[in-house]
A and B are shown apart, each in its own frame.
Chain A
Amino acid sequence: MIVLPTEIELATTTSSVLADTAFLMTELDADEAPAGPGWLHAAVGFQAALGGRLVLSMQKGIAIQAAADMLCTEPNDPEAGAQAAGAVLELANVLTSVVIARVFGGDAKWQFGIPERLDECPLATANQLSYSATLRNDAAQRVRVLLLLGKGANA
């Protein structure tokens, strides 16, 4: 059985993964953030009962903070800046596995791909179901998660 997520469920799941993997504290942001310049994007395609794609977008500041936390260094360490995109890729990878397990169930069969960097956040087409949530940390830096399901979503 497919259980489609609400915005709050998607936000809660994302917040939990960010906390457990990168020690980031975030909460649901009522404002839908347009992920434009200054954001880093990572996508993971998957195939289950429905094809799909999860896109994680993070403002560069919070992505650097995530990399610093994951590398046990400080945000002003050049390595944290250099690995910010890598941190977003890994967080997208972990988040995808958690989200698809919740959507399709723990017993379902699925496959998911290797995370890839995107230059911009994709838009849903008319054939796709789209679910998104925006989170923010206490410095008002934002994270956006977009789940696309349906035809062409994992292309």
Chain B
Amino acid sequence: MLSVLIVDDSFVMRRMVARSLLVSGVPAHETREAANGVEALSVVREVLIDIVLCDLHMPGMDGVEFVRRLGSDAHTADIPVVIVSSERSEGLLAELEDLGVRGFLRKPFQPAVLGELVRDVLGLKGAA
């Protein structure tokens, strides 16, 4: 079973992302949640995570710093990260790409688009 970590300071948005995964037919998965980068790092160090869906603007530790720290740890560097954010700054998106982020989805998003992106990043094309 896939393990998906949803990182967003908004409880409402975490539930929306989780719901979108369900309705978009992402194969059997369980979701875990974190409200910022600090909590997310704690989760990935304790549990095997297949993919992280991460917001950018969060108190405590933001998404950019989380991605940077995830990539600098050999134990977590291979976990794919997809950014789910309302951020539209091209410069920041380029920086995230350089840090190894595998996908980017702007809010608001359609559930089907999120599902397709997750399947694509995980190499599950055609699996629904």
Interface of A toward B, CB cutoff 8 Å: 17, 20-21, 67, 70-72, 83, 86-87, 89-90, 93-94, 96-98, 100-101, 106-107, 109-114
Give the secondary structure class of A's interface.
helix
Residues of A within 8 Å of B87, CB to CB, are: 97
User: How distant is B57 from chain A, measured CB to nearest CB, in Å?
Assistant: 6
Point out the residue from A70, A107, A110 that lies within 8 Å of B16, measured CB to CB: A70
B86 at the interface (CB under 8 A from A): yes
Q: In the complex, A110→B107 CA distance in Å?
A: 17
Residues of A within 8 Å of B13, CB to CB, are: 70, 90
Cβ-defined contact, A83 with B11, below 8 A: yes
B58 at the interface (CB under 8 A from A): yes
Chain B interface: which size bin? 20 to 34
From B24-32, B37-45, B88-96, B116-124, the one touching the partner chain is: B88-96
Top 10 A-B pairs, shortest CB-CB distance: A97-B86, A20-B108, A21-B108, A90-B10, A94-B86, A101-B88, A86-B12, A94-B107, A70-B12, A87-B12
Residues of B within 8 Å of A83, CB to CB, are: 11-12
Point out the residue from A72, A93, A109 that lies within 8 Å of B86, measured CB to CB: A93
B68 at the interface (CB under 8 A from A): no
Residues of A within 8 Å of B57, CB to CB, are: 93, 112-114
In B1-57, the 8 Å CB interface with A consists of 9-13, 15-16, 19, 57
Given A83-B12, A94-B86, A110-B89; 16 other pairs, CB 8 A cutoff = A17-B108, A21-B107, A70-B16, A71-B15, A71-B16, A86-B10, A87-B12, A93-B86, A93-B107, A97-B86, A97-B87, A106-B88, A106-B90, A107-B90, A109-B91, A113-B57
